[in-house]
Amino acid sequence: MKVYNENILSKLLDFIKTYQSRNGKSPSYREIMRGMNFSSLSMVYRYIKLLNDKNLIEKDEFGSIEISKNLKPDKTILAPIVGLVTCGKPIYAQEDIEGTYQLPMSIFGSGEKFILRAEGDSMKNAGIKSGDLLVINKCETANNGDIVVALIEDSATVKTFYKKENYVILHPENEKYDDIIEKNVKILGKVEFCIHQL
C-alpha cells in the first residue's frame, strides 16, 4: 500500500487549476516540481497518477495533464476588420482590411461577420461612439429599427433602418443630424455588437 499526503494532493490540484486559469494551458511536470517544491519528478508522477486515478484530472493522448473542460477555449469565428464607416454623412466604402479578430461563438454567434471602426457621433444615442468597433452580421435585408451598414451608391454609413413603401429612411440617433431618405439602398449588414474603445 502506497502512502500519500491528502493535503499535498489538494494543494497540487489547486496549483494545476490556478496555473490553467492564468496561462490557458496545463503546467509541465517540471513546473509542478518547482511550484510545489517536490524533491523529484518521480514524486510529481506519483501524485499526478493519484489525481488521475481519483478522476480529479485527465490526461491527454501524450500523457500530459488535460486542461479543465471549463477552461478550454471556446469555438471561434474569424472576422476581418475592414476599415472605417461613418456615423454621420456617408463616406466612400473602401475595404481596407486592417487585421482579423477571433470572436467566441458563445457570445457573437455563428454566421459571416466583419468588423468596422465607427467614425463620427450621429449614432451616439444608440451607444455608438467614434472609435468603437462594430461587429456586423453580413446580410442583405433588415427589419425596421435595425442598426445597419447601408450602401448608397458607393458610400457607406451606419444608421437605423426604416423601410417605407417606395423609399428607405436611414435615421441618425443624434438630433443634430437629418434623416437620409433614399430609394436605392443596399444593406451590407446589421450591427450586432458595439465594442467600446477605452
Residues known to be catalytic: 122, 159
Degrees (nearest 5) of the Cα angle 46, 51, 52?
Answer: 95
> Which residue bears the cell 413603401?
165
